Chains A and B, each alone.
Chain A
């Protein structure tokens, strides 16, 4: 009994130490983002500024190029990807879930694997030519379509969990009550999967918001560049970054992502979405 008490106390202390080390490892690299934007002369050190200032943000807002990147280009690209991925993934996972498709789980699994194989820079080579041939180089549409194609399999994977959790009797009740397939989808199925649609939409938006590789390959003109690339406008001609402005811009760029995370965490609890039955 006494030994058991000692053991539980020890394991609790161990957990505390472990939690501390992990928190430090994951938090320390981010601290700079909290201090540098507010100091007038930031360098790479984490130092709480003696007189916190918002002057850096003023300077950032004077950079028209960077501001348009953040508040226009990023919103257009993120919004487009969000709408496309959420709607196409919802329809697809619903169709998959509610039709008798043999080997459906395996199908989705293979799709995920395939999209993981055809991704990154390797896929960018043929995708660049595809977008080039379609005449969509340096357009938002080209970036949105390529991103949607890449995110869709995982989007369907996430959505599947939500769709599968809806009891079929809801839809059957609507059918027996006299609704057509599409009316049933509109009145019953869609409202019920709305949380899933929201999660997929936010997930797609956050992915598109932070993307660097795809826009840097598919876009040319400065006025189309998203924020991930607009950082280069805070570099001097010699190619060194103006750290105070970079940090302030990074701060602004990160806020929407954190807000969306908080929304998802508050509404649904941030967890692993997507069937993980192997």
Chain B
């Protein structure tokens, strides 16, 4: 168990900067998710910790040890791969025991420790089989077992759930979180699925184009997304982002298609309000909008587009000018709505972002 530190780390592939001057500390025993779309540098960051890539600049420390230029074998970390990487020519027993074998642990001791871990992970009955004879979920557990048996200082997970179907994924998610709680090993977890990151991590690192966009607990990044990128990436359905102009004097926001939203006290309460006439983006989560069949004070008109029943909740899409706005209703029964509806945003819960995408508050 160790903390992991990145100091100004840069990794380039040709002209592409995959990891762009990243500084980050992952605490001892902490579960950190690296979250972002493909190509954001999250996997490269993980591989830099493992030693599968070497940094071009900066330092990487595991505990107090500078591992920047150490080969993977010397870093004493364990990694679970997206495709599990279980060797088809070895039994599950040999697969799980491979890190021990490489370290010269005797055959009997290996069998003892593998059996112990396998029992905990409920795959003890599969040890004599080959990977191809296991289901996806079982293979996933076996690859986690290979990481656990090793007693490494940190666990690295590279999208370990993305090859499972939806139901198994939820099950495996709970299992992984429980396991990490039990073992308390520092864990870095790469995913592009924001729900997975929210559910699992103590802290989420949101990345984009090699840069860190925001670091925080799941609740922090959800409640206070620092920029439009994080705002659009965290939460499902994503936040509505409306671009337009701030009329600070009138306390209004004019959308690109001239729809006017009355902003009430919002600008006045901000310590760093936008300038009058500045281009801004207004962010409102779908659950912070109410929908009305009749005209309503401070509400904006729109045309009903579709209603999507989701089971426990209902999503309503409304066309406002050229923009589709999503409204989330916590009711299972779809509401009866006319074509012309009125939307009322809860402005207290809205976010204002400047033209550069950074939050103004």
By a beta-carbon cutoff of 8 Å, the part of chain A in contact with chain B is 167, 169-170, 172-180, 183, 187-188, 191-192
Contacts and interface: CB of A to CB of B under 8 A. Distances in A.
A99 to B, nearest CB: 14
B102 A173 contact: no
A167 B85 contact: yes
Contact of A178 (B81, B103, B156): B103
Contacts of A176: 50-52, 72-73, 75, 77-79, 156
Contact of B89 (A167, A177, A191): A191
Nearest 6 pairs of A and B residues by beta carbon: A177-B99, A169-B85, A173-B85, A169-B81, A175-B72, A178-B73
B202 interface: no
Given A175-B72, A178-B73, A170 B146 contact: no
Contacts of B88: 192
A180 B102 CA distance: 9
B83 interface: yes
Interface string B85-108: 101110000000011001100000
B358 to A, nearest CB: 37
Contacts of B98: 174, 177, 187
Contacts of A174: 98, 102
Contacts of B156: 176
B82 A169 contact: yes
Contacts of A170: 85, 87
Nearest to B89: A191
A176 B50 CA distance: 7
Given A174-B98, A177-B99, A178-B103, A169 B83 contact: yes
Interface of B: 50-52, 71-73, 75-79, 81-83, 85, 87-89, 98-99, 102-103, 146, 150, 156
B83 A167 contact: yes
B76 to A, nearest CB: 8
A177 B146 CA distance: 9
Contact of B73 (A179, A191, A192): A179
Given A178-B76, A187-B98, A191-B87, 9 more contacts: A167-B83, A169-B85, A170-B87, A175-B73, A176-B77, A178-B103, A180-B73, A187-B102, A192-B88
A188 B85 CA distance: 11
A274 to B, nearest CB: 22
A72 B103 CA distance: 46
A172 B146 contact: no
Nearest to B94: A187
Contacts of B71: 175
A156 B156 CA distance: 35
A188 B72 contact: no
Contacts of A177: 73, 78, 98-99, 102, 146, 150
8 contacts: A169-B85, A176-B51, A176-B52, A177-B150, A178-B102, A179-B73, A187-B98, A192-B89
Contacts of A179: 73, 102
A193 to B, nearest CB: 11
Nearest to A183: B102
Nearest to A174: B98
Contacts of A178: 72-73, 76, 99, 102-103
B90 to A, nearest CB: 8
A172 B85 CA distance: 9
B172 to A, nearest CB: 18
A177 B96 CA distance: 10
A180 B73 CA distance: 7
Contacts of B75: 176
Contacts of A187: 98, 102
A175 B87 contact: no
A39 B103 CA distance: 66
Nearest to A102: B14
B327 to A, nearest CB: 43
A191 B77 CA distance: 25
A131 B205 CA distance: 65
B60 to A, nearest CB: 15
Nearest to B13: A100
Contacts of B103: 178
Contacts of A188: 87
A87 B85 CA distance: 25
Contacts of B73: 175-180
A103 B102 CA distance: 34
A88 to B, nearest CB: 23
Contacts of B76: 178
A178 B88 CA distance: 19
A44 B85 CA distance: 59
Contacts of B87: 170, 188, 191-192
B208 to A, nearest CB: 25
Contacts of B150: 177
Contacts of A169: 81-83, 85
A152 B153 CA distance: 45
Contacts of B146: 173, 177
B317 to A, nearest CB: 40
A187 B88 CA distance: 12
A173 B79 contact: yes
Contacts of A192: 87-89
Nearest to A172: B52
Contacts of B52: 172, 175-176
Contacts of B85: 167, 169-170, 172-173
B335 to A, nearest CB: 48
Contacts of B77: 176
A220 to B, nearest CB: 46
A194 B146 CA distance: 24
A173 B81 contact: yes
A154 B89 CA distance: 27
Count chain A CB atoms within 10 A of each CB in B72, B76, B88 and give the residue with the most.
B72
